Structure 1
Amino acid sequence: MTVSTPPLVLTVAGSDSGGGAGIQADLKTMLALGVHGMSVIAAVTAQNSLGVQGYWELPPEAVRAQLNSVLGDIGVHAVKTGMLASPTLVETVAEVLAEVDAPVVVDPVGVSKHGDSLLAPEAVDTVKTRLLPVATVATPNLWEVTQLTGVKVEDERGLRRAADAVLALGPRWALIKGGHLSGEPVDLLTDGDREFRFTAQRYDNRHTHGTGCTLASAIASYLALGEDMPEAVRKAKDYVTGALAHGFPLGSGIGPVDHAWRIRR
């Protein structure tokens, strides 16, 4: 029997002790979509369904060593970044990824689902000047758009203005997530010339923890599987919509999306 190696996807992010977001969500997504997930842990959080009780950054030399171990021996077909916490960690990751010949999906994580800060204020400029220029696609939500660019989106008409402001910071594509707007969710993907809009059904389900991490990881997975950017985003959106629909209660607060919904179905 001939055994082939699946596409390789690396996540560089924080660990979520509750298992709904961060490294844990990324690896579950990658497994569900048929790629081999690998991880570089940049921070450890104490986190549950009620919020983030604390987080601790790993030393930059530990993050760099993890990156060098994976990239030097195994290699990657796509990379996803999430919570990087501090300017030093952002700089470290950006410096290494600038030399990687694979798509880089940057989820510029600023706050958790519960509103807890996951990025030091002084790190915002470093994300803008060092990390976004190495991104193949950036996937900010509306709060992160404002944090990075100052642009506030009030309705769907503002999505393109937000995308242009993000593109000005250096990524080749911008995916602006409009799920926090009223009405049916609409996300806008553009490279400055082409524009794609993705709609989805809104489900009456409060258990949405890990949505952003899951979407970015799904995009990276589909890029590693050979899809172009619009198709990777479309398929990732379909997967996340199903995961949202099947989100389940956990603890006393907000539960996670169900990364295994296709398997259970």
Structure 2
Amino acid sequence: MTIAGSDSGGGAGIQADLKTFQELGVFGTSVITALTAQNTLGVEGIFPTTPDFVKQQIEVVFQDLAVKAVKTGMLFSPTIIETVSDTLKEKDVQLVVDPVMIAKGGANLLQSEAVDALKSQLLPLATVLTPNIPEAEVITGMSIHSVNEIEKAAEKILSLGVESVVMKGGHLSGKEAIDHVYFKDGSYFAIQSNRVNTTQTHGTGCTFSAAITAFLGQGKTLKEAIIEAKKFIQLAIEHPLNIGHGHGPTNHFAYNQMKKSFEVVVHES
């Protein structure tokens, strides 16, 4: 299940999540938290769903279908976060939280007052949190520019109750992009891949977290799911579709076309 906003441009949100689920061979269900009018150039409008209807969407799906894993994306408001948290507390599922805050074009996708609700209510339920560096800075109140600061920020995030956190390295500098993965039991690993100089990155966070969700739904361990999801998003970025006039979407087809000849580098602690 994906609980997120609808992207009318098809590159992020519900649409990216369902495309990812389909490519990875799992059946996707969806709960729409907001409608957006957007394309690769930016978000023109946001129309949020009511919290009661968000709850109804979740409950109706769970009443009929055996949901194995859930991801959240754009939740927009404190009341929607509270509703999603209260509803998921009663469900026995693995939860992937992508703390969607700002669109590639700069639009705010999470109200500022919603950050506290995210931290206090949703994160304690999370199997894994997948923030980029700017999102991690908002959640922790820290500036993050180094590996040492990444580790300190991860410790702060783990203290909020999440089981694990993937500190994505795409916003840092360097020839390689390195994601640092920390678990509450103290274990750690990192995933290294080539940094790609491209503007075709719309929906990367949505797609990566959706891939983790799909692999968890298939029964992979969390570590296996994160590593394989990294392959999925890396290939999606390296082989762009080159559509639109702004931040173009990633290529959801690439993984199934090229996964047999591609690996990422995993560094164990």
Q: TM class, shorter-chain normalised?
A: over 0.9
Q: Identify which of 149, 152, 167 aligns with 2:143.
A: 152
Find out whether 1:11 has 2:9 as its counterpart: no
Q: Identify which of 29, 40, 49 aligns with 2:31.
A: 40
Aligned to 1:87: 78
SS in structure 2 of the partner of residue 44 of structure 1: strand
Find out whether 1:143 has 2:134 as its counterpart: yes
The letter of the residue matching 1:127 is: L
d(CA) in 2 for partners of 1:27, 1:226: 18
TM-score by length of 2: 0.93
Q: CA deviation at 1:55?
A: 0.6
d(CA) in 2 for partners of 1:251, 1:117: 21
d(CA) in 1 for partners of 2:157, 2:224: 21
d(CA) in 2 for partners of 1:207, 1:78: 28
Aligned to 2:225: 232
Q: CA deviation at 1:218?
A: 0.3
Q: Identify which of 224, 236, 241 aligns with 2:234.
A: 241
d(CA) in 1 for partners of 2:71, 2:110: 17
Aligned to 2:261: none
SS in structure 1 of the partner of residue 99 of structure 2: coil
Aligned to 1:21: 12
The letter of the residue matching 1:70 is: V
Aligned to 1:120: 111
d(CA) in 2 for partners of 1:258, 1:172: 30
Find out whether 1:171 has 2:162 as its counterpart: yes
The letter of the residue matching 1:247 is: P
Aligned to 1:185: 177
d(CA) in 2 for partners of 1:203, 1:142: 17
Query: In 1, are the aligned partners of 2:199 and 2:246 still within 8 Å (CA)?
Result: no
Q: CA deviation at 1:263?
A: 4.5
Aligned to 2:211: 218
SS in structure 2 of the partner of residue 47 of structure 1: strand
Which has the higher mean CA deviation after the structures are superposed, 246-255 or 105-114?
246-255
Q: CA deviation at 1:89?
A: 0.3
Structure 2: tracts of 5 or more residues without a match: 259-269
Query: In 2, are the aligned partners of 1:83 and 1:119 still within 8 Å (CA)?
Result: yes
d(CA) in 1 for partners of 2:188, 2:210: 21
d(CA) in 2 for partners of 1:262, 1:127: 31
d(CA) in 2 for partners of 1:211, 1:258: 10
SS in structure 2 of the partner of residue 160 of structure 1: helix
Aligned to 2:267: none
d(CA) in 2 for partners of 1:137, 1:200: 21
Structure 1: tracts of 5 or more residues without a match: 1-9
Query: In 2, are the aligned partners of 1:108 and 1:139 still within 8 Å (CA)?
Result: yes
d(CA) in 2 for partners of 1:75, 1:151: 39
Query: In 2, are the aligned partners of 1:151 and 1:165 still within 8 Å (CA)?
Result: no
| Number of residue-to-residue matches in the alignment | 256
d(CA) in 2 for partners of 1:232, 1:156: 23
d(CA) in 2 for partners of 1:191, 1:137: 9
The letter of the residue matching 1:230 is: K
The letter of the residue matching 1:257 is: T
Find out whether 1:261 has 2:238 as its counterpart: no
Correspondences of 1:66-105 after superposition (within 5 Å): 66-105=57-96
TM-score by length of 1: 0.94
SS in structure 2 of the partner of residue 253 of structure 1: coil
Correspondences of 1:184-203 after superposition (within 5 Å): 184-192=176-184, 193-203=186-196
Q: CA deviation at 1:264?
A: 5.1
